Amino acid sequence: MFSKKLIVALDFSSFQEVNEFIKYIDPLKCLVKVGLQLYTSCGNKVIELLAEKGFEIFLDLKLHDIPNTVKKTINEISSSSIVMTTIHLSGGEKMIDDACESKGNIKIIGVSLLTSLDHNDVNELYNRDIEQQIMVLKDLASRTKIDGIVCSPKELPLLSDFKKLKVVPGIRNIYGEDDQKRVLSSKEAYAYGADYIVVGRPITEAADKAKAFNDYL
C-alpha cells in the first residue's frame, strides 16, 4: 500500500454514484476514502463493492468515544477489508492505546484539530492557541502506537520532526475552485512532508474525471 500516495475521497450519498464514479480511477494507483456520509447511507455494502473492485479502503469515521467502545469498534473494522481508519487524538491516551491494541494490520490515523475550528474555538476548548494544541497532540501521537496524524497542509511545517504518517486533505492544484481556503498543491504538500494526500471534489466533480485523477497522481 505504501506505493500509493493518493487517497480519493468518495463523498457521495449513494451506491449508484460510487459505482458510476469509480470507473474513472485506478485501484492500483490510489486508495479510496469512505466517510461518515457514505458509510451512513450505504454501510458495508459499499465497502464490499470497493473491495471487490480491488480498492484499498480508508474508513474515515473519526471515532471519539470511551476507550472500550472505540476498541471494540476498531476490532470490527479490522476484521473487514479496510486498511486505514481514523480516531480523534483528543479522545486521550487510554482511548488511543486501547484502539491500537485491537487494530491488527490496519493503520490508525489520529485526527489532530478539525480545520473548521478557528483560534477562538481552540482557545475556548483547550485554553491554548492552535499551534500549542497541535504540539500537544503531536506529542501524544508520538508516544502512543498510533500510526499517524491527519493534518491540514498549513500544519505540516509544525510536524516536520514527526516520524509517523502524515495524511493531508485540503489539496488543490488549481486554486479558487471552491470553499477550501487553506490549501496547498499536491507537489507542495509532498515537499512539506505529506505521506498521503486526500483529494475529493477536484476529482469527483471535475468535467474530465480521468484527467483530474491523473493530475493528482
List, by residue number, the catalytic residues: 62
Binding residue for ligand C5P (CB under 6 A) from 153, 199, 212, 216? 199
Determine, following the binding rule CB under 6 A, whether residue 186 of this chain makes contact with ligand C5P: no
Closest of 203, 200, 198 to residue 215, by C-alpha: 203
Determine, following the binding rule CB under 6 A, whether residue 194 of this chain makes contact with ligand C5P: no
DSSP assignment of 61-127, as one string? EEE-S-HHHHHHHHHHHHTTTEEEEEEEGGG-HHHHHHHHHT-TTSEEEEE-S-TT--HHHHHHHHS
Binding residue for ligand C5P (CB under 6 A) from 201, 206, 214, 215? 201
Distance CA 15, CA 1 (A): 25
Number of residues that bind ligand C5P (CB under 6 A): 15
- Residues of this chain, 108-137, that bind ligand C5P according to CB under 6 A: 114-115
**Who contacts 69 (Cβ-Cβ below 8 Å, separation ≥6)?**
none
Shortest CB 42 distance to ligand C5P, Å: 15
- Shorter beta-carbon distance to ligand C5P: residue 143 or 182: 182
Binding residue for ligand C5P (CB under 6 A) from 11, 26, 188, 215? 11
Binding residue for ligand C5P (CB under 6 A) from 22, 32, 38, 198? 198
Distance CA 82, CA 102 (A): 14
